[in-house]
Amino acid sequence: MLKSDPKLIKLTDVPAALGLLSRLPVRGAGTRGAAVAWAFPVVGLIIGLILAAVAGVLAKFGLSPDLNAGLILFVGVMITGAMHEDGLADSADGLWGGWDRIRRLEIMKDSQIGTYGVIALIVSFGLRWAAIAALIRADSLLPALIGVAVLSRLPMVVMMAMMQNARGDGLSASAGRVGKATVWLAIGLGGGVGAVLLGGAFIGVIGGISIATLALGLIAKRKIGGQTGDILGASQQVAEITALVILATL
């Protein structure tokens, strides 16, 4: 159940969200827990603009689309500290490597990566690399990079609001549940920016992200009883992969 929001927006929410979802140096970060989640799409916008700037610079060097795509992915990982990729790998190991809820949660908390995690990362980087290279060839990369960076942060907000924490500790649990006004503000901000940037492709992208997020949420609910920080990270990755692949095929 969604909870109410005591105070929807504070100026410190954006730096707080940046500090939570990236390795960018920030000052003035507050400690409002889940209340800063409305700013997740703003973080995506900042990251997307940085990646678009990097892509613009790389385009001037005449490098191949494949090489440019790899460098853009590398910069993105450096900005976020690979936290979403880590969540994807841990989620893949836990959800498919354990036989019961307790064991799955134990595996997800283990710092070592397993076979399912390695496969998930290979698939993630492979699909994103190919999709970004295809968008470069189609000369439609820059709005796609920014729009996807924004929209792929929305599933984390929705899951934090709609699903209980499966573990009771960790970053996701300490942040708490997201309030209903926070969710709608995030969706409004992210959806508005995404619609402007992606144009006619927006409906297909947001539809694909919604289906992928629902599928991941149902799997997490059935196998571990809710969401964790790793599941939230995985939701961003699944959304980003889905959106980039859809845009690359349109």
How many domains, the chain? 1
Residue 32 banded pLDDT, cuts 50, 70, 90: confident
Say if residues 130 and 248 touch (Cβ distance below 8 Å).
yes
Model confidence at 149: pLDDT above 70: yes
Return the bridge partners of 165, or none: 227
Model confidence at 6: pLDDT above 70: no
**Cα 98 to Cα 147: distance, rounded to the nearest angstrom:** 35
Q: Is residue 3 part of a domain?
A: no
Locate 109 and state its tokens.
């908390």
Q: Is residue 2 part of a domain?
A: no
| Average pLDDT of the residues of the chain | 92
Q: Is residue 127 part of a domain?
A: yes
Model confidence at 131: pLDDT above 80: yes
pLDDT of residue 176: 63
Q: 22 CB contacts (<8 Å, ≥6 apart)? A: 43, 46, 47, 79, 80, 81
pLDDT of residue 5: 53
Which of helix, strand or coil describes residue 35? helix
Q: Is residue 222 part of a domain?
A: yes
Query: What would the pLDDT profile of 151-168 be if each residue is shown by its tens digit?
Result: 999 999 999 999 999 877
Task: Render the burial of 129-143: b for 16+ CB within 10 Å, e for the rest.
Answer: bbbbbbbbeeebbbb
Query: What would the pLDDT profile of 186-245 be if each residue is shown by its tens digit?
Result: 999 999 999 999 999 999 999 999 999 999 999 999 999 999 999 999 999 999 999 999
Query: What would the pLDDT profile of 58-114 be if each residue is shown by its tens digit?
Result: 999 999 999 999 999 999 999 999 999 999 999 999 999 888 999 999 999 988 999
Domain containing 228: what range? 13-249
Q: Is residue 190 part of a domain?
A: yes
Q: Is residue 5 part of a domain?
A: no
Q: Is residue 100 part of a domain?
A: yes
Model confidence at 28: pLDDT above 70: no
Model confidence at 1: pLDDT above 90: no
**Cα 91 to Cα 93: distance, rounded to the nearest angstrom:** 5
**Cα 175 to Cα 169: distance, rounded to the nearest angstrom:** 10
